[in-house]
Structure 1
């Protein structure tokens, strides 16, 4: 039974699939399969029985229309579904759904669907915001009439209007992600939320299920507490409203008597069956229709929060279809507005003419500065660590591109990666931090270790909401990258280790350099460091680059540099290289005096499957030979795509 003529106009195919009957059945089977595995891990059912039940869940052989009819009769999906599994399980029937209840299956399946839905919304809402950021940057000084209460007010710039739209979407997405952190949790409480009959293993079973399904494991079952679901619903409605704001403004700007911005011309779209001259804002129409519907749906879920006792009647049962509608409306609105914003036709001449006709002058106040501030905040993050340090990083590239963490060398900052940012920022979402005591990150007041620098990198990834990233590090950054691949392998996808080693330098050499910097300042070591950074031919051909690096090195805080010298003094990962499982490329410099080719060869030999590339360069090979470095980086990171 299809309802596409009704649903497709407001929802995307991708989101309809996430909340389809087949997807719900698959999510329910994933829960039952994970439950069987967790029960076996706790010793409550035989391991071979769990294996058979998992195989059964992978191919349950059930017809969806018959299941839907049976579920409607029973009052819940779980009853006929579990009965079907038990009928097929034979001697293992008593192990099916053990310790669980209908709402455990229903809620967990819904959270699996919601998780997939949030990923889809986050990807495309970020893309929509990126497109608005491009308009804000391009039109930051384009004067137009500001309008308050639908009347001409004072001048603004179109860039500021786009920046306001962008910030609205970014804040809505951040709110959705915060609510997702609270809501996307496994449900496992059993008949009355007490986890009875599990011999005290209930918490461990819930945690095991959660890990397998990629959901959180809450402290308590949440059968009667629906705040997480309500938070998701409201945040989805806010997403729709934020997109609707963009649509409303563009629809008004496209009115014939205003004519300042238009949806792109697309054959067969935006026409009229009665008036051939019309150019209707059809994408805006979809978003505005969603904005009309979403608040009522969110209110419906809010109205069901006062559940009865340990499990309610009628309240939680209403949530799944409402939440599905909200997800479909949210992504439908985003999908409709993506081509509108990416292809938006802006008429600066008409903006100028309307502004002149309004007679309100040409002073747009601080519009351009406001745009610059909004874009800067969007592209930079600042986060305080548990020991009080303030870390700063730059974010560059499309928000839906594969994340790439770039970790710079001792004595540099994130600008070291400028050639890579210029060449690769359309292929990757680059996360470029300044290490402690370098660039815009404050000098440390406490001792610094390689582990502390690695944890800083994880804090940056968390703040950037990146679960897993490619990691490329050079010199000290390469040592940090090794630590990440060993200590947090789940966060590292592919790995590039440039001009680094498992053990860089000697304990004595680093101790002497640390002491020299602390007593005599950066000027005492800067010339020698620059001599190792770049080969003589490069310094001769690019004296301006060498001079700029020397200036920055001399001006950086001595305490920050010395603290990182101490971190390298104590760092030796030689015995742990075998733990690195990420596909790895090791890049060395043929003229590198700090980490000679022999160290690069040893590093590659210590990591299973690592590839080695030696570049005709000194220590900062990414700057001396950017084309070769960039090609190798791109090839390695995109190899699996």
Structure 2
């Protein structure tokens, strides 16, 4: 699963508030309704390959690399303002301002840390100006290490501390091989995930620089975006896999209750944390439903049926 089979994107750079150059790629026809994709921790634009492939025929799909991932440089050092939810929100604001015109609105989809990015930006002027609706996909607002079930222990302080230590390990991930793929599948994907999808995820995750992986793990360990979640005063759909060990469904239920305008909760049976890769059609369908409802966009197949 690579972007090589897709048309060449229009690449641009959005400059964040602290001067960080954020790498952005735009697919699909100019003037088409817009979708903005924000990926998660240790991932990159490539994580959204199947959504880009499916949507770019009749949407303008805007995807960007979070700082420290893909082609967007990492902050100079961990522990500073460059690694923070404020920085994530700044980057998203910069992307929206650089890619959307006056009066233009988009559907925003965020997976994992990408969903947290949207929550962090909830009160920002750019989000209020440009966002028509949101998909929060396999994510959560707080208590990430307390609720994660990656470590097979009973809930409590010991499990939370061990989870934080595992996810925040500074050791390199090493090569993609049978062992590393087995570990990744256990931690992030459902047991029935196809081998080629596990392979694709492993190559994306292992490509994330160690410094950025560690820096963002520290932010996620202390995450609290409950206030931002309540500030998302626009239509928001929530999606989660029932076998998600990193952001289990308990987070999605919390979000559904807290969101001022939740349009519904979709639970994908047997799917893990990497839902855009594990169940690409289901995630794409949710994005399409939001574009149809809030941007008035029908897919090419729907248009053909209408004309027939």
Work out whether the TM-score is over 0.5: yes
Is 2:47 aligned against 1:416? yes
| 8 Å contact from structure 2 (residues 185, 191) kept in 1 | no
Q: Compute the displacement of 1:618 (Å).
A: 0.9
From the superposition, tell whether residues 397 and 564 of structure 1 become closer, same or farther in structure 2 (CA, over 3 Å). same
What does residue 452 of structure 1 align with?
87
Separation in structure 2 between the aligned mates of residue 510 and residue 436 of structure 1, nearest angstrom: 24
Separation in structure 2 between the aligned mates of residue 429 and residue 573 of structure 1, nearest angstrom: 29
What does residue 97 of structure 2 align with?
462
From the superposition, tell whether residues 521 and 459 of structure 1 become closer, same or farther in structure 2 (CA, over 3 Å). same
| 8 Å contact from structure 1 (residues 473, 496) kept in 2 | yes
What does residue 582 of structure 1 align with?
234
Is 2:131 aligned against 1:476? no
Deviations 1:88-113 (A, max 9, x none): xxxxxxxxxxxxxxxxxxxxxxxxxx
From the superposition, tell whether residues 544 and 628 of structure 1 become closer, same or farther in structure 2 (CA, over 3 Å). closer
Separation in structure 1 between the aligned mates of residue 273 and residue 216 of structure 2, nearest angstrom: 17
Deviations 1:167-225 (A, max 9, x none): xxxxxxxxxxxxxxxxxxxxxxxxxxxxxxxxxxxxxxxxxxxxxxxxxxxxxxxxxxx
Is 2:217 aligned against 1:562? no
From the superposition, tell whether residues 441 and 574 of structure 1 become closer, same or farther in structure 2 (CA, over 3 Å). same
What does residue 134 of structure 1 align with?
none
Other structure's SS at 1:418 match: helix
Is 2:35 aligned against 1:396? no
Q: TM-score, normalised by structure 2?
A: 0.77
What does residue 326 of structure 1 align with?
none
What does residue 613 of structure 1 align with?
266
More deviation, 583-592/464-473: 464-473
Q: Aligned match of 2:138 in 499, 502, 505?
A: 499
What does residue 189 of structure 2 align with?
534
| 8 Å contact from structure 1 (residues 495, 582) kept in 2 | yes
From the superposition, tell whether residues 526 and 566 of structure 1 become closer, same or farther in structure 2 (CA, over 3 Å). farther
| 8 Å contact from structure 1 (residues 510, 566) kept in 2 | no
Q: Compute the displacement of 1:389 (Å).
A: 2.4
| 8 Å contact from structure 1 (residues 403, 466) kept in 2 | no
What does residue 91 of structure 1 align with?
none
From the superposition, tell whether residues 445 and 514 of structure 1 become closer, same or farther in structure 2 (CA, over 3 Å). farther
Separation in structure 2 between the aligned mates of residue 510 and residue 637 of structure 1, nearest angstrom: 37
Give the structure with the higher percent strand: 2
- How many residues matched? 261
Q: Compute the displacement of 1:496 (Å).
A: 0.5
Q: Compute the displacement of 1:598 (Å).
A: 1.8
Q: Compute the displacement of 1:513 (Å).
A: 4.2
Q: Compute the displacement of 1:544 (Å).
A: 2.7
Is 2:288 aligned against 1:634? yes
From the superposition, tell whether residues 624 and 555 of structure 1 become closer, same or farther in structure 2 (CA, over 3 Å). closer
Deviations 1:431-454 (A, max 9, x none): 100111111112221431111011
Other structure's SS at 2:144 match: coil
Deviations 1:119-148 (A, max 9, x none): xxxxxxxxxxxxxxxxxxxxxxxxxxxxxx
Give the 4+ runs in structure 1 shifted more than 4 A. 507-511, 524-527
Separation in structure 1 between the aligned mates of residue 255 and residue 162 of structure 2, nearest angstrom: 20
Q: Aligned match of 1:516 in 165, 169, 183?
A: 169
Separation in structure 2 between the aligned mates of residue 637 and residue 436 of structure 1, nearest angstrom: 27
Q: Compute the displacement of 1:392 (Å).
A: 0.5
Separation in structure 1 between the aligned mates of residue 207 and residue 119 of structure 2, nearest angstrom: 29
Q: Compute the displacement of 1:407 (Å).
A: 0.6
Q: Compute the displacement of 1:608 (Å).
A: 1.9
| 8 Å contact from structure 2 (residues 44, 204) kept in 1 | no
Calculate the aligned-residue CA RMSD, in Å.
Answer: 2.5
Deviations 1:322-379 (A, max 9, x none): xxxxxxxxxxxxxxxxxxxxxxxxxxxxxxxxxxxxxxxxxxxxxxxxxxxxx95x71
Other structure's SS at 2:265 match: strand
Unaligned runs of 5+ in 1: 1-374
Q: Aligned match of 2:253 in 581, 588, 601?
A: 601
| 8 Å contact from structure 1 (residues 532, 594) kept in 2 | yes
What does residue 283 of structure 1 align with?
none
Separation in structure 2 between the aligned mates of residue 511 and residue 389 of structure 1, nearest angstrom: 28
Separation in structure 2 between the aligned mates of residue 505 and residue 523 of structure 1, nearest angstrom: 25
Deviations 1:65-105 (A, max 9, x none): xxxxxxxxxxxxxxxxxxxxxxxxxxxxxxxxxxxxxxxxx
Is 2:187 aligned against 1:550? no
Give the structure with the higher percent helix: 1
Q: TM-score, normalised by structure 1?
A: 0.38
